[in-house]
A = this chain, B = another copy of it.
Amino acid sequence: MHKQEAIKKLKDHNYKLTPQRELILDIMLNQQGYLSVREIYEKVKEVFPQVSIDTVYRNLSLLKDINILNETTIGNNIMYVMRKEIHNHTMRCLKCGKIFELDICPLELWINQIKDFEIVDHKIEIVGYCKDCMSNKN
């Protein structure tokens, strides 16, 4: 997702491009992994110290509603990440051979925590049994 694309989506829905909203967009565009609301709020405050946390909640939720961000819940925690169009990760069924796209990247949750390694690329290969083959593996 490019910035112009995101801005167009906002306009198409008659939402305004406020400085706060644009900053949140920039933060998410410059971020590989998932961030919690609090982490995003802290980053916004660096530029707008007076920002209301309500503004952050409101905008993240809105950006999710118009499919700019993906929202996920880990434990009790709401987290956001830029939406991806390309699906690099798949699950392959050992029985029927069907390939299922993983619309999430498990690595994105960890990327922020890996400090001593500059990640260039990664592959994830999951194998197992799909819904249809689960009960009939032979």
**Do residues A134 and B118 form an inter-chain contact, with CB atoms below 8 A?**
yes
Chain B residues near A122: list those with CB within 8 A.
124-127
Q: Which residue of B lies closest to A116 (CB)?
A: B131
Chain B residues near A78: list those with CB within 8 A.
75
Identify A109's interface contact among B36, B74, B76, CB under 8 A: B74
Which residues, 30 to 54 on A, are CB-close (under 8 Å) to B? 34-39
**Cα of A121 to Cα of B36 in the assembled complex, Å:** 29
CB of A94 closer than 8 Å to a CB of B: yes
Which residues, 98 to 129 on A, are CB-close (under 8 Å) to B? 100, 104, 106-107, 109-110, 113-114, 116-129
Shortest C-beta distance, A116 to chain B (Å), equals 4
Shortest C-beta distance, A34 to chain B (Å), equals 7
| Interface size, chain A (Cβ < 8 Å) | 41
- B interface footprint on A13-40 (CB within 8 Å = 1, 0 otherwise): 0000000000000000000001111110
A–B Cβ pairs within 8 angstroms, 15 of them: A36-B74, A36-B77, A37-B75, A75-B77, A76-B77, A107-B124, A107-B126, A109-B109, A121-B127, A122-B126, A122-B127, A123-B123, A123-B124, A123-B125, A124-B124
CB of A62 closer than 8 Å to a CB of B: no
**Do residues B94 and A104 form an inter-chain contact, with CB atoms below 8 A?**
no
